[in-house]
Amino acid sequence: MGAAPNSWFNDPGFFDTKDARTIIESLILPAYDSDFVWSSWVPVKVNVFGWRSSLDRIPCKLGLAKRNIIPDPFCQSCNSMEEDANHILLNCQFARRIWSALSIWCKLPVFAATNVSDLLKVPNLWPLSPEKKKVIYAIFLSTLWCLWKAWNDRNFNNLFKTDRDILGDIKSLSFLWIKTRAKMINLKWRQWCNFLF
Ligand SMILES: [Zn+2]
């Protein structure tokens, strides 16, 4: 009997796309001392952003002011607090409203976190199934990503999205990513919008 047409897939000299992704991801995420937990249910760029924001290593005014690149470290939105990663993504009124709306959508218990690192530990503290914890963690990472995009649009492109639009972006992107990456092929949009699954 001849070799199966696809036998080269099993050749140890080749590796599949999943192996390739794992290697690429390990190269992209530097080995900083961080307790950031990788999520395979959102894209690499979203993980990298979550990791950087948990270390307060995203470009913001406080960092630039400390280097004397700009004189004023205050938030452009509220103009009352210094602008660091935790302020942009959690503590500014703009971000607080989105997290509040997200909590209602996902029917989450009341939670409080003042920094991104603590925020990302919250889903693991709730008495939920491991799968639901992973879903909520992936949604949290998606939310950080969408908040950052909206913040940049607001400050650099003069594009002001409404809270409803930003929540819509979070719902649709996380639906797309989780449905395909978590292989929840039967997940329906209406289910997702009501957070019933
Ligand atoms: Zn602010």
Within a domain: 11: no
Count of domains observed in the chain? 1
Q: How far is the CA of 82 from the centre of ligand 1 (A)?
A: 8
- pTM of this structure: 0.82
- For 182-191, what is each residue's pLDDT tens digit? 988 899 999 9
Within a domain: 22: no
Within a domain: 117: yes
Q: What is the pLDDT of residue 22?
A: 54
Within a domain: 31: no
Amino acid at 47: N
Within a domain: 33: no
Domain that holds residue 86: 41-193
Q: How far is the CA of 87 from the centre of ligand 1 (A)?
A: 6
Confidence of residue 29 (pLDDT cuts 50, 70, 90): low
Q: How far is the CA of 99 from the centre of ligand 1 (A)?
A: 14
Secondary structure of the chain as H, E, C letters: CCCCCCHHHHCCCCCCHHHHHHHHHHHHCCCCCCCCCCCCCCCHHHHHHHHHHHCCCCCCHHHHHHCCCCCCCECCCCCCCECCHHHHHHHCHHHHHHHHHHHHHCCCCCCCCCCHHHHCCHHHHCCCCHHHHHHHHHHHHHHHHHHHHHHHHHHHCCCCCCHHHHHHHHHHHHHHHHHHHCCCCCCCHHHHHCCCC
Q: How far is the CA of 3 from the centre of ligand 1 (A)?
A: 64
Within a domain: 88: yes
- For 51-92, what is each residue's pLDDT tens digit? 999 999 998 888 888 888 888 899 988 888 999 999 999 999
Within a domain: 29: no
Q: What is the pLDDT of residue 18?
A: 56
Q: What is the mean pLDDT of residues 168-174?
A: 98
- For 141-160, what is each residue's pLDDT tens digit? 999 999 999 999 988 899 99
Q: Given a cut of 90, is residue 130 above it in pLDDT?
A: yes
Q: What is the pLDDT of residue 65?
A: 86
**Residue scoring higher pLDDT (30 or 123):** 123
| Mean pLDDT of all residues belonging to the chain | 85
